[in-house]
């Protein structure tokens, strides 16, 4: 049996960057690595909206299958792409230190249009979370769907008559495309686990578990777990207009969450700060609070849209 760790990844530039980052960390620990490229349904079909394809899970299914078939030893994922429920005998063994979690606007002709309340801008995003928050802030703007990897989406923004498109800041910065960012959207609550990478192993592979767990970043793991607990309890899945972001500051976990109707008209906000030691249930209690305030409407709207 080869001692080389086979790392499964999608073949986009960003996914490859992420897999190479994990490979470098494993090599620092003395392990040989090899990248194995796996194409997902989400990479092949670039036109169908993600929500119609089953959400972000379309990016992870092919890697899951490769792991279950023992074609790869570990898989590297953008953590925000992983469903909060996983019935398969696979588990996340490490969460890497998070990069910038913010969303950003790429606007080739500048952002002056944001200051004109009467201007009807066209903004591209395939995310219901980004769509709803944008429409809440700019109700007269129009949102259009955009699919593809980071490079493909940047090309589409340049070619189309759109005013801008929304990207995860980390995705652009990691592959040296941060110069395309026109504005960081500090007001937008990011997706649960945005900016973090997860390393998946087979549950029964205890040896790989010991190796990979050395890459875990405790603070990122704490914060992303809180965010994903919230997402799970909201029964939201990756395609719902729900955002969650936690970070540690001066020994406290500061957490904010948001849930909106798809049109952005109704918004439910949650914000709380607790000590790190008391933060274990923060995601769960935030979900209960928002659902009791009326955010159940958001979930019902998503469910009725899927029926």
**Active-site entry in 64, 73, 81, 100:** 81
| 100 carries an active-site annotation | no
Q: What is the full DSSP assignment across the chain?
A: ----EEEEE-SSHHHHHHHHHHHHHHHHTT--EEEEE---HHHH--SS-GGGGTTTHHHHHHHHHHHHTTS-SEEEEEGGGS-S---SSEEEEEEPPP----EEEE-TT-SGGGG-TT---EEE-S-HHHHHHHHHH-TT-EEE---S-HHHHHHHHHHSS-SEEEEEHHHHHHTT-GGG--EE-TTSPPPTTTT-EEEEEETT-HHHHHHHGGG--HHHHHHHHHHHHHHHHTT--TTSSEEEEEEEETTEEEEEEEEE-TTSS-EEEEEEEEEGGG-TTHHHHHHHHHIIIIIHHHHHHHHHHH-
Q: What sign does the dihedral 79-208-71-90 (CA atoms) show?
A: negative
117: tokens are 């309340």
| Dist. CA 55–CA 60, nearest whole Å | 10
Place of tokens 């969650």: 244
Question: Which of 77, 76, 80, 75 is closest to 103 using CA atoms?
Answer: 80
Q: Which residues are catalytic?
A: 81
């Amino acid at each position: 049996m080869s001692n080389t760790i086979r790392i499964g990844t999608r073949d986009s530039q960003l996914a490859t960057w992420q897999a190479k980052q994990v490979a470098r960390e494993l090599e620092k620990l003395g392990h040989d690595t090899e990248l194995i490229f796996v194409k997902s349904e989400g990479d092949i079909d670039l036109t169908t909206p993600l929500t119609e394809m089953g959400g972000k899970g379309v990016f992870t299914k092919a890697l899951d299958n490769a792991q279950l078939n023992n074609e790869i030893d570990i898989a590297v994922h953008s953590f925000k792409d992983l469903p909060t429920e996983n019935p398969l005998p696979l588990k996340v063994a490490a969460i890497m230190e998070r990069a910038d979690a913010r969303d950003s606007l790429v606007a080739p002709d500048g952002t002056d249009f944001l200051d004109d309340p009467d201007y009807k801008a066209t903004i591209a995003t395939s995310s219901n979370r980004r769509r709803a928050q944008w429409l809440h802030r700019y109700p007269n703007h129009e949102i259009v769907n955009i699919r593809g990897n980071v490079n493909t989406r940047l090309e589409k923004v340049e070619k189309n008559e759109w005013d801008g498109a929304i990207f995860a800041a980390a995705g652009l910065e990691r592959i040296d495309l941060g110069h395309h960012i026109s504005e960081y959207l500090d007001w937008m609550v990011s997706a649960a686990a945005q900016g973090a990478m997860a390393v998946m192993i087979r549950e029964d592979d205890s040896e790989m578990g010991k190796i990979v767990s050395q890459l875990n970043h405790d603070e990122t793991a704490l914060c992303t777990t809180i965010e994903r607990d919230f997402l799970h309890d909201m029964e939201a899945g990756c395609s719902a207009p729900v955002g969650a972001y936690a970070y540690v500051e001066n020994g406290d976990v500061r957490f904010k969450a948001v849930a909106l109707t798809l049109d952005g008209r109704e918004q439910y906000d949650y914000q709380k700060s607790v000590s790190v030691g008391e933060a274990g249930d923060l995601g769960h209690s935030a979900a209960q609070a928002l659902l009791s305030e009326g955010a159940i409407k958001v979930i019902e709207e998503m469910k009725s849209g899927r029926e």
